[in-house]
């Protein structure tokens, strides 16, 4: 990352906590917003990735979610600021326009950037699409439909293992009551995919996994659920098989989550730390950052948002090569908020 990211603000606050005999000190470097109400009234479901020039962010924007004119936008961070968002994809099929959903950015095995997204009238019957960029998101290839039965990463980024295997976290919403998660696994750099179920009872709704890798090469999937807690599943064989989902102790209101493995090996999770309510946005008025070293014991280290009401949801978190941590998330459905942190713990 260019040094401009370090100059766009000073610390707003410092949160210090201890977990498992490790001191964690994260300092907020900057906060900024991506918004362009001349192009869209609402925006949601951001994804962020590091580029050679800085950062690239994607989200969907429209008059409102499910509107047939919902489009996929990207915005670049360059020269110390966010540039104007550009619409890069829509859901037009012949003469019909469908909503688009949940873009996910991923740097593929050929060092190009993939932009995965969904098209369709609802999550019950959407399909997966992908575009590719060889110039760090400045231009994109023509959209391609993914093979039947393959949806692509449903909201959170894929991971690539040391062996080269790519694991893409995905899920289906066959009906309002039946939500199931799975991963899509590729051994050929994303040319072909195999769909592998994450086992769960039909009464437990789980979607939108996020993936963490551990030193013993085990993989943990943390999942959005209707159980008022984040659920988890584990794989010990590079994603070929998964344990049945089990509850964690992390409170959760059936909203999007995301997590990363830091360069230090520690884990960070972004989650709305409240139980669900009667409406879909219930519990999304608070957003926390959690820390763990083993994926089993998690501790809140930063309150990113804490309001009596409002929506702060669908986070995406990455760490760039310079060690900075970047979190993007929906801010009142009117903007995408971007928070930059750094770990100032003694090394």
Q: What is the pLDDT of residues 29-53, one digit of tens each?
A: 999 999 998 999 999 999 999 999 9
Q: What does the buried/exposed string (b/e) look like for 149-184 if buried means 16 or more CB atoms within 10 Å of the residue's CB?
A: ebbbbbbbbbbbeeeebbbbbbbbbeeeeebbbbbb
CA 114/CA 7 separation, integer angstroms:
29
Contacting residues for 244 by C-beta, under 8 A, at least 6 apart: 199, 200, 201, 233
Q: What is the pLDDT of residues 306-319, one digit of tens each?
A: 999 999 999 999 99
Q: What is the pLDDT of residues 155-166, one digit of tens each?
A: 999 999 999 999
pLDDT grade, residue 17 (50/70/90)?
very low
**48 close to 324: Cβ distance less than 8 angstroms:** no
Query: Which tokens in the block code for residue 70?
Result: 């919902």
pLDDT grade, residue 28 (50/70/90)?
very high
Residues 282-294: what's their mean pLDDT? 96
Query: Which tokens in the block code for residue 77?
Result: 């961070």
Q: What is the pLDDT of residues 74-100, one digit of tens each?
A: 999 988 899 999 999 999 999 999 999
């Amino acid at each position: 990352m260019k040094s401009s990211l370090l100059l766009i603000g000073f610390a707003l606050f410092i949160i210090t906590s201890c977990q498992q005999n490790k001191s964690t000190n994260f300092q907020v470097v900057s906060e900024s917003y991506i918004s362009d109400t001349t192009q869209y009234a609402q925006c949601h479901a951001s994804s962020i990735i590091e580029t050679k020039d800085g950062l690239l962010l994607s989200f969907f924007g429209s008059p409102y979610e499910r509107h047939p004119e919902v489009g996929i936008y990207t915005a670049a961070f360059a020269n110390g600021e966010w540039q104007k968002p550009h619409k890069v994809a829509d859901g037009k099929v012949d003469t019909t326009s469908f909503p688009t959903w949940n873009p996910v950015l991923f740097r593929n095995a050929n060092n190009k950037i993939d932009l995965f997204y969904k098209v369709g009238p609802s999550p019950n019957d959407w399909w997966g699409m992908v575009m590719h960029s060889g110039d760090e998101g400045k231009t994109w290839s023509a959209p391609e439909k993914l093979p039947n039965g393959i949806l692509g990463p449903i909201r959170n980024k894929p991971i690539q293992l040391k062996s080269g295997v790519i694991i893409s976290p995905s899920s289906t919403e066959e009906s309002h009551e039946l939500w199931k998660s799975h991963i899509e696994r590729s051994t050929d750099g994303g040319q072909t995919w195999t769909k592998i179920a994450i086992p769960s009872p039909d009464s437990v709704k789980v979607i939108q996994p996020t993936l963490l890798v551990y030193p013993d090469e085990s993989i943990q999937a943390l999942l959005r659920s209707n159980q008022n807690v984040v659920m988890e599943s584990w794989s010990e064989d590079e994603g070929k098989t998964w344990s049945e989902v089990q509850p964690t102790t992390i409170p959760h209101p059936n909203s999007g989550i995301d997590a990363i493995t830091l360069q230090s090996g520690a884990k960070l999770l972004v989650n709305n730390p409240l139980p669900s309510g009667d409406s879909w946005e219930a519990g999304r008025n608070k957003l926390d950052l959690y820390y763990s070293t083993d994926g089993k014991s998690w501790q809140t280290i930063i309150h990113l948002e804490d309001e009596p009401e409002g929506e702060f949801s669908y986070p995406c978190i990455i760490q760039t090569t310079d060690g900075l941590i970047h979190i993007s998330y929906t801010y009142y459905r009117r903007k995408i908020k971007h928070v930059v942190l750094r770990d100032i713990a003694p090394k």
